[in-house]
Amino acid sequence: MSGFGGTGEGQLFDMDGRRKYLTRNEARHLLAAARKADARTRLFCELLYYTGARLSEGLQVTRQRLDADTGRVVFRTLKRRRTVYRAVPVPHHLMTELLAFADTLLPDEPLFRWSRQTGWRRIKALMEAAGIAGPQATAKGFHHQYGCHAIGCGLPESLVGRLLGHANPRSTRVYTHVVDTEERALTARMWS
């Protein structure tokens, strides 16, 4: 099934045809709103943005899962039947901030000691502060945005799937069905 319509995992549009991923412009507004939030909320928002992690995966990050030597955050992929870990590279500045933030915690203590509902509410509040409304205004919007942006930047589908924790290549392929600036960026390659 393509990324159009449907309600299952990996669908980029809701039943009314509205997109469920953040555009680059919306993501910029969201990061600007996050800079005005408390440090923990800002870091959580940036973690989801730069990794495409699912909300629950981000909430499980501990000091032990910050691999400073390789600049990657290790996530336990939650959409699998068996335990699978994946390591996602992050910008140097984010790793530095995450490590500094984690310095006061025990190695296996979560950086973000919130319930799933609290994490969801914090992200939702940032979306509202950024003026983002609609089906994309959720934590899942980060996951979809990451996939769309990665494909738009030319990353191979296999790498995108691994970074997002997909077991099935069809889950990743849906990100090739993009619109707005991502679609324009891809089609512009044909014009030059």
Q: Give the CATH number of the domain where residue 145 resides.
A: 1.10.443.10
**With a cut of 50, which residues of the chain have pLDDT below it?**
1-9
Structure tokens at 47: 């973690």
CA 174 – CA 178 distance, rounded (Å)? 8
Contact 48, 123 (CB under 8 A): yes
CA 167 – CA 146 distance, rounded (Å)? 17
Predicted TM-score (pTM) of this structure: 0.85
Residue type, 76: R
Q: Is 18 within a domain?
A: no
Q: Is 8 within a domain?
A: no
What pLDDT is recorded for position 173? Answer: 81
Q: How many domains does the chain have?
A: 1
What pLDDT is recorded for position 68? Answer: 96
17-49: per-residue pLDDT in tens?
888 888 889 999 999 999 999 999 999 999 999
Q: Is 1 within a domain?
A: no
CA 49 – CA 53 distance, rounded (Å)? 8
Q: Is 13 within a domain?
A: no
Q: Is 42 within a domain?
A: yes
Helix (H) or strand (E) holding 87: strand 84-89
CA 116 – CA 59 distance, rounded (Å)? 7
Q: Is 177 within a domain?
A: yes
CA 71 – CA 78 distance, rounded (Å)? 22
78-99: per-residue pLDDT in tens?
777 788 899 999 999 999 999 9
Contact 52, 142 (CB under 8 A): yes
The parent domain of residue 84 ranges over 24-191
